[in-house]
Amino acid sequence: MDTGASSHLADNTGILTSFSNSSIYPSVFVGNGNSIPVTHTGHSFLHTSYKPLNLNHILVTPHIIKNLIFVCKFTRDNDVSVEFDAYGFSVKDYQTQKILFRCDSTVDLYPVTQQPSLQTPVVLLSLSSTTWHKRLGHPGDDVLRRLKSSNLISCNKSKLSALCHACQLGKDVKLPFHSSQSFVKSVFKIIHSDIWTSSISSESEIKYYAIFLDQFSHFVWVYPLHKKSDLFNNFVAFRAYVNKKFNVDIKALQCDHGGEYDNTRFHDLFRQNGIQFRFSCPRTSQQNGKSERMLRTINNLIRTLLFQAHMPPSYWVEALNMAAHLLNILPSIAINNEIPFTKLYNQTLTYELLRVFGYLCYPHVDVAHKLEPRSTPCIFLGYPVNHRGYRCLDLVTNKIIISRHVRFDEDVFPFGNFTSSTKPTYDFLLPPIQTTTNVPTTEPFAQHVDEPHSRYPSIS
C-alpha cells in the first residue's frame, strides 16, 4: 500500500488478469529521481473473503522494486477506506465500515499479504470495550487496541471506562515521579531538611544528625543531635544565623512528615513568622529527594574518610563535619558545577590550607617548664566552628586541642598503626535510615550552637 504513488505499479504481467502492450504513460519517475519505462497496462483483482477488489490501470514497469497499490485510486474504484495504524492496515467498506480484510506489518512498509488475517478464526461479537476488558482479565489499553486492530475482537463505539474499580484494587501501582520544576532565584527561599539516625553512638554519644540544604546555593549545614527532639532548637539557631549573617529569613522548609518536624512548636513558629511547611507525603521519600540524596552523599564521604584514616566508626561525627565542609567547597552537579560556598558567599576560595582528615599532626602547646615537650602527637579531625585553626585529638590524653600553630606529617595515619582483633566496619552508614516516629517535643535544649558546622575556615 502506498499513499504517495500516482498509479498502481507492477513489475510483471504474470500477476494481471488482463493487459495490453500499450500505455498512455511511456515512463514513470521513482523516488531516486530516475525514470523507468512502462511496458504494459493491465487490470487485476485483490481477492478478499467477502468480495474481489478492483485494481484498474496497473502500469507494468519491470524495474520497479516493489509492487505498489495507489491508495487514493484503490479506494475510489472500490468504495472502500484504508486505515493505517502502528501494526498494519485495514480495508473497510466505506458505507458499512465492515472490515473486508486486514494485513499486519512487521517492517516499516505495509505489505498486502497473500492470506489476509480474516482467514484465521475471528471473534466478531460487537461488545463494548469495557466488556472485553473484563472478559480478557483486565488487560491494558494497548492490548485491547492490538486485538481490535488485528480484527480478533469487535468493539462498538463505546469507550473503555476511564477508571476500572477492579484494576485499582488488584493492580494499582504508585504513580511515576517527575523531576521537580521548583526554581528559586535567591538564597533561603527553600531549605531542605532531613534527619539521619546512626546505629553507633559517636565518641560524644551523638546518634543523629540533621541537615539544612539551601536549594539555591546547594550549601549544606549539618547539626549533630543527641536526641531528635533537639532539632527544633537547632533550627531556631540556624534561622537566627541566617537572619544575622544574610539579613534574610527562611521562606519555606521542605521535609518529611516525621514527628520531629510536624509538631506544635514548629507549627507555631512557622505560623507566627510566615514560614511555609512543604511536607512530603507519608512513605514517599522521593518528594524529599534533595535531602535524601544529600544524606547519601554525605554518608558515602564519611565512610570514605574513615576508611582512609583507619579510624573507628565512633568518630563518624568528626568525619561528618569534614564531609560537609568539603562538599561545600567542591563543584556541585546540582547547580551546574558551581561551588556552593562561592554561590552563597560570593567570595573566592583557596585550597592551600586544606589538610587530609586523620593525618598525624603536631600542634604547638604552651609549657610551664622549659624542658617540657613543646608539642604532642595528635590526629587531625578538621576545623573548629568558632576558631581560626585546626582541631587535633591528643593521642595521649584523648582530648581535643585547638590551635593555629600545627605541623602535619602527611605520610602517617596514626590509627593505621594500631592493631585490633576486629577490622572496623562502616556498614551502619548505608543506607540512610528513614524514620517517621512521633517524638516528644518538650525536651530541653541539649546542644548550644552559635554557628552551624561546615563553615569554610579562614585560617591566618
Would you say the C-alpha torsion 439, 442, 447, 450 has a positive or negative sign? Answer: positive
Q: Answer yes or no: do 133 and 50 share one domain.
A: no
* φ, ψ (nearest 5 deg) of residue 62: -60, -25
Q: Answer yes or no: do 97 and 127 share one domain.
A: no
147: part of which helix (H) or strand (E)? helix 141-149
End of a domain among 96, 120, 144? 120
End of a domain among 104, 134, 160? 160
- Write down the pLDDT at residue 384: 85
Task: Report the pLDDT averaged over residues 438-451.
Answer: 36
Give how far the C-alpha of residue 433 lies from the chain's centroid of Cα atoms, to the nearest Å. Answer: 20
- Write down the pLDDT at residue 177: 45
Give the 3-state secondary structure of 26-39. CEEECCCCCEEECC
Asked if residue 315 is part of any domain, the answer here is no
Q: Answer yes or no: do 132 and 30 share one domain.
A: no
Give residue-wise pLDDT tens across range 225-258.
999 999 999 999 999 999 999 999 999 998 887 8
Asked if residue 457 is part of any domain, the answer here is no
Residue 45 scores a pLDDT above 80:
yes
Residue 98 scores a pLDDT above 90:
no
Task: Report the pLDDT averaged over residues 13-20.
Answer: 82
269: part of which helix (H) or strand (E)? helix 264-273
Asked if residue 436 is part of any domain, the answer here is no
Q: Which residue has the higher pLDDT, 442 or 356?
A: 356
Asked if residue 370 is part of any domain, the answer here is yes
Asked if residue 27 is part of any domain, the answer here is yes
Asked if residue 19 is part of any domain, the answer here is yes
Residue 351 CB partners (closer than 8 Å, separation 6+)? 329
CB 290 within 8 A of CB 332: no
Q: Answer yes or no: do 370 and 408 share one domain.
A: yes
How many beta carbons lie within 10 A of that of residue 375, not counting itself?
A: 17
Q: Which three cell numbers stand for residue 196?
A: 539521619
Q: Answer yes or no: do 59 and 36 share one domain.
A: yes
Q: Answer yes or no: do 34 and 46 share one domain.
A: yes
- Write down the pLDDT at residue 423: 66
Give residue-wise pLDDT tens across range 285-300.
555 678 888 998 899 8
Would you say the C-alpha torsion 386, 392, 394, 395 has a positive or negative sign? Answer: positive
Q: Answer yes or no: do 102 and 30 share one domain.
A: yes
Amino acid at residue number 303 = R
Q: Which three cell numbers stand for residue 340?
A: 556552593
- Write down the pLDDT at residue 226: 94
Catalytic residues: 2
Query: Percentage of residues in the chain with pLDDT exceeding 70?
Result: 77
Q: Which residue has the higher pLDDT, 460 or 369?
A: 369
Q: Answer yes or no: do 112 and 129 share one domain.
A: no
Q: Answer yes or no: do 58 and 70 share one domain.
A: yes
Residue 201 scores a pLDDT above 80:
yes
CB 253 within 8 A of CB 277: yes
Q: Answer yes or no: do 51 and 36 share one domain.
A: yes
- Write down the pLDDT at residue 162: 64
First to last CA, the chain: 82
How many beta carbons lie within 10 A of that of residue 346, not counting itself?
A: 8
Q: Answer yes or no: do 44 and 144 share one domain.
A: no
Give residue-wise pLDDT tens across range 385-422.
877 888 898 888 888 888 888 888 878 888 876 655 56
Number of separate domains in the chain:
3
Q: Which residue has the higher pLDDT, 340 or 169?
A: 340
* Nearest of 67, 51, 157, 57 to residue 112 by alpha carbon: 67
How far, in Å, are 95, 372, 418 from residue 415 at the CA level?
89, 25, 5
For residue 407, give the 3-state DSSP assignment.
strand
Asked if residue 426 is part of any domain, the answer here is no
Q: Answer yes or no: do 126 and 59 share one domain.
A: no
User: What is the CATH number for 37?
Assistant: 2.40.70
d(CA 75, CA 90): 12
Asked if residue 444 is part of any domain, the answer here is no
Domain housing 392: 360-412
Give residue-wise pLDDT tens across range 139-167.
777 777 777 777 677 666 555 556 676 67
End of a domain among 120, 149, 168? 120
Confidence of residue 211 (pLDDT cuts 50, 70, 90): very high
How many beta carbons lie within 10 A of that of residue 205, not counting itself?
A: 9
Give how far the C-alpha of residue 3 lies from the chain's centroid of Cα atoms, to the nearest Å. Answer: 42
